[in-house]
A and B are shown apart, each in its own frame.
Chain A
């Protein structure tokens, strides 16, 4: 067991997209139970430092594996198709149109009903993309196409934040 093992190896999980969240949570809590700095209070500075390093690493891996988006991005990278969001904007063609339509709908939405409708649509789109990732990563081993879906999901993430802001504005 090394600090630079992959997130999957660290948690002793197979390197795949589909994952049992409850099982991951249990693994995380058990590993923190042995590595957390609280377990080494009074054992000197060297032990504290070591525990800190491991505890940080376990949290990092947990955070990345926990979210489908970051988990998928990580798998793409492990399989030679890094997301590189700043330099590579390749997305599925139909999503580009979809994305413009959503932007316009957000600009035009003038009541909470319209916003709720848009939110439901975006959530459905997100579920659909996650389903595609499952196929592309676990069954077809097509990391490049998967990476395009990940970029689309990153757009949805940002869009959902904007949407939430507008929804809040109506509530306050």
Chain B
């Protein structure tokens, strides 16, 4: 049992003076959770001292499941029910998943996102990811001996599109995690690296993981991490090298792997051989197939040959990003390597040649992303000194709308700093047209067919006019998580339509709520307790924020305004001591409404003060 704490005389205990906030790296091959403790960001370990949680979920009989190492070890024995590398399926339809025919799953192709038939029913990638996230959340709560997790920063590949980001955020919600922010993996790595080395200037982060590749170029200036350009491939990683090696080994031994077991076993054996070749110049790829054991000698030269086309693809992306950032390789001060696949000598050599300098490898490529996310989480939770760090990230892919003839009209360009919003006016094509079908796409190609479809929605009720007379303004808004909301309104009549780009994979809020009920099958009492806890956390948060705002900028208010606000705060404090979460929510809502004008005035002052140090030039 946890010991009860007693505070010093005269000192009021404030359980929220430090909020528990973690960073989570939800990886293709493995996942980690990290937190800042005693001023140091570190990965949290499980009961056996391991930081790395294999991103594997095995569904067992009776609704039981294994998550992590036990599941990872069972992938060949129980391939149909053991899901690995689920990240590659996030926000994807079956047709989008390159090489899915090689994967040993019973896929269920639903309209938006692919799902997998397991012995425990059909599971979406969002649900599988939620299992991994819930395990990490549990680990964090155990580490802090508290079930009061304030929130988490979760990392995603910089090159993830809107559907993949939304799917990741949905998975976190399903796991009961308050997402403080989604941040990009290379940005998180740059944060950890930059702070650790007190770096300033231009850096490139080359992040080759199990399933995704990212390249970002950042400018580091006094705690500001500004992404100048990013690029990559959301379906390129160590898994592809394993697959190439497995195929080669089977061919050279004149063998085949037909069963799900054999295919999975070959991929595992290829991975072991690949890893051995990072140190040795030759190894034996050994695999127990159903038709008898297979053993093939592989040299590093052979592996280099097999991986060359994949590495070349990463190099093309690097060149593109340098061009987007309008930089030459010589302007880059250092190249940080991230992701397990950067342990391969061929990758290191290729990166060194391209940049004309050896890459920086003085940090653990597996842990650096989670550590960076933890630092950002600590900052967002308000635990760090104010204004220490700021991440200014970009969107990786252009966003646009389909126009006549299936041509894309780009609205937000790739590498725009987020948050961002942009509007463009369109018009009708036919006389008397009263509705407009809007198709939102993401990608760099000119034709809609070559881009990724994100959402379709209609603007209806346009008054009949001649073709070309209506003025329909379409506004794209990308928030700090990189998620898109699109709205449209007709300017002459004021007709309006908005959609949060709940992408084509179509997990509506109702679906999430249903999955929450099903997968965690909470008893009513638990659900109520959870609502109450969430409401009181919200209440505490608002009370704290309002009090510190009053202390900092109270002079912006009249005495009467100030008294009214203090009263609202006191009401929340009182109600929050009770057990009625509806009453707490109502009081918090009243406080939020009552402080809105104050918040606007404070924001104004903050921005004015931001430039106070600069010479103010007037015309």
Residues of B within 8 Å of A38, CB to CB, are 181, 379-380, 390-391, 480
Contact A30 B614 (CB under 8 A): yes
- State whether A37 and B479 are in contact (beta carbons under 8 Å apart), knowing that A12-B614, A45-B592 are contacts in the complex: yes
B224 at the interface (CB under 8 A from A): yes
Roughly how many angstroms separate A55 CA and B420 CA in the complex, as a whole number?
8
CB <8 Å contact, A46 and B596: yes
Q: C-beta contact mask, A15-47 vs B, less than 8 Å → 1, else 0?
A: 110000001001101111111111101111111
- Chain A residues with CB under 8 Å of B607's CB are 1, 31, 34-35, 54, 58
Q: Per-residue CB proximity of B146-190 to A under 8 Å, as 1/0?
A: 000011000000000000000000000000000011000000000
Docked-complex contact A41 and B181, CB < 8 angstroms: yes
- Residues of A with C-beta under 8 A to B542: 43-44
Decide yes or no whether B545 CB sits under 8 A from chain A: yes
Contact A41/B611 with A50-B599, A52-B480 known, Cβ cut-off 8 Å: no
Task: Identify which of B224, B379, B392, B616 contacts A12 (C-beta below 8 A).
Answer: B616
Q: CA separation between A3 and B600, bound complex, in Å? A: 11
A159 adjacent to chain B (CB < 8 Å): no
Interface contact A27-B611, CB-CB below 8 Å: yes
With an 8 Å Cβ cutoff, the count of chain A residues facing the other chain is 42
**Interface of chain B residues 379 through 419 with chain A (CB within 8 A):** 379-382, 387, 390-392, 416-419
Point out the residues of chain B lying under 8 angstroms from A43, CB to CB. Answer: 541-542, 545, 549, 599
B178 CB → nearest A CB, Å: 10
Docked Cα-Cα span, A12 to B612, in Å, equals 10
Known: A15-B619, A42-B382, A47-B599. A52 touches B419 (CB 8 A): yes
CA distance A39 to B386 in the complex (A): 8
In the assembled complex, the Cα of A38 lies from the Cα of B387 at a distance in Å of 10
Point out the residues of chain A lying under 8 angstroms from B588, CB to CB.
Answer: 44
Is the pair A14, B617 in contact by a Cβ cutoff of 8 Å? yes
Q: What bracket does the count of chain B residues touching chain A fall in?
A: 35 or more
Residue of B nearest to A26 (CB): B614
Residue A121 CB within 8 A of the other chain: no
Q: Which residues of A contact B611 (CB under 8 A)?
A: 11-12, 27, 30-31
How distant is B44 from chain A, measured CB to nearest CB, in Å?
Answer: 21
Q: Are the CB atoms of B609 and A60 closer together than 8 Å? A: no
User: Which A residues are in CB contact (< 8 Å) with B604?
Assistant: 1
Q: Which of A135-166 contact B (CB under 8 A)?
A: 164
Tell whether A109 is near chain B: CB-to-CB under 8 Å.
no
Question: Is there an interface contact between B592 and A42, defined as CB atoms closer than 8 Å?
Answer: no
For the complex, is B247 an interface residue (Cβ under 8 Å from A)? Answer: no
Given known contacts A30-B614, A63-B416, A164-B323, A41 and B380 CB-to-CB distance under 8 angstroms: yes
Centre residue among B224, B542, B603, B618 by max chain A CB count within 10 A: B603
Tell whether A129 is near chain B: CB-to-CB under 8 Å: no
CA distance A54 to B606 in the complex (A): 11
Inter-chain CA distance A96–B210, complex, in Å, is 52
Provide the bound-state CA to CA distance between A1 and B612, in Å: 13
With contacts A14-B619, A38-B480, A45-B592 taken as known, whether A54 is within 8 angstroms of B417 at the C-beta atoms is: no
A56 in complex: contacting residue of B477, B545, B592, CB < 8 Å: B477
A-side interface mostly: helix
Closest chain B residue to A36, Cβ basis: B390
- Which chain B residues lie closer than 8 Å to A56 at the CB level? 419-421, 477
Give 1 or 0 for each of B454-495: 1 = CB within 8 Å of chain A CB: 000000000000000000000001011000000000000000
Given the complex, which residues of A lie within 8 Å of B221, measured CB to CB? 29
What residues of chain B lie closer than 8 Å to A8, measured between beta carbons?
A: 619
Please, which residues of chain B bring their CB within 8 A of the CB of A54? 603, 607
Please judge, given known A-B contacts A27-B611, A46-B599, whether A35 and B420 are in contact too, CB under 8 Å.
Answer: no
Checking A15, A29, A39, A41 against B226 with a beta-carbon cut-off of 8 angstroms, the contacting residue is A29
How many angstroms between the C-alpha atoms of A50 and B588 in the bound complex? 18
B3 within 8 A of A: no
CB-defined contacts of B424 to chain A, threshold 8 Å: none
**Complex interface: chain A residues within 8 A of B390 (CB):** 29, 32-33, 36, 38
Contacts of A51 in B (CB 8 A): 603
Q: Which of B180, B479, B599, B610 contacts A31 (CB 8 A)?
A: B610
Closest to B221 in A: A29
Q: In whole angstroms, what is the CA distance A13 to B418 when docked?
A: 23
Q: Is B608 an interface residue (CB 8 A)?
A: yes
B617 touches A13 (CB 8 A): yes
Asked whether, in the complex, the Cβ of B545 is within 8 Å of the Cβ of A42, the reply is: yes
> Do A33 and B610 touch (CB < 8 A)?
yes
| B606 CB contact (under 8 Å) in A15, A23, A35, A41 | A35
A170 → chain B closest CB, angstroms: 13
Task: Looking at the assembled complex, report how far the CB atom of B177 sits from the nearest CB atom of chain A, in whole angstroms.
Answer: 14
A residues in contact with B419, CB < 8 Å: 37, 52, 55-56, 59
- Please tell me if B595 contacts chain A, counting CB pairs below 8 Å: yes
Chain A, residue nearest B377 (CB): A41
- Whether the pair B600, A59 counts as a contact (CB closer than 8 A) is no
Q: Which residue of B lies closest to A25 (CB)?
A: B221
Q: Is B391 a contact partner of A50 (Cβ separation < 8 A)?
A: no
**B541 nearest CB neighbor, chain A only:** A42
Residue in chain B with minimal CB distance to A2: B604
Residues of B within 8 A of A42 (CB): 150, 380-382, 541, 544-545
Name which residue of chain B comes closest to A42, CB basis.
Answer: B541
- B578-619 contacts to A, CB under 8 A, are 588, 592-593, 595-596, 599-600, 603-604, 606-611, 613-614, 616-619
Minimal Cβ-Cβ distance residue in A for B604: A1
What is the bound-complex CA distance between A1 and B610, given in angstroms?
Answer: 12
Docked CA distance A46–B588 (Å): 12
> Who on chain B is nearest to A16 by CB?
B619
Given contacts A45-B592, A50-B603, contact A1 B480 (CB under 8 A): no
- Asked if A60 contacts B420 (CB within 8 A), the reply is yes
Whole-angstrom distance between the Cβ of B392 and the nearest chain A Cβ = 6
Determine whether the beta carbon of B417 is less than 8 Å from that of A50. Answer: no
Question: What residues on B are CB-neighbors of A1 within 8 Å?
Answer: 604, 607-608
A46 near B595: Cβ-Cβ < 8 Å:
yes
Within 8 A of B (CB), among A53-109: 54-56, 58-60, 62-63
**24 residue pairs from A and B, CB less than 8 Å apart:** A1-B607, A1-B608, A13-B617, A15-B619, A16-B619, A33-B224, A34-B603, A34-B610, A38-B480, A42-B150, A42-B544, A44-B588, A44-B595, A46-B596, A46-B599, A47-B599, A51-B603, A52-B480, A56-B419, A56-B477, A59-B417, A59-B419, A59-B420, A63-B416
Contacts A12-B618, A29-B226, A36-B390 aside, 20 further interface pairs with beta carbons under 8 A come to A1-B608, A11-B611, A12-B614, A12-B617, A16-B619, A23-B614, A31-B607, A32-B224, A38-B480, A41-B180, A41-B382, A42-B544, A43-B542, A46-B595, A46-B596, A47-B545, A47-B599, A51-B603, A59-B420, A60-B422
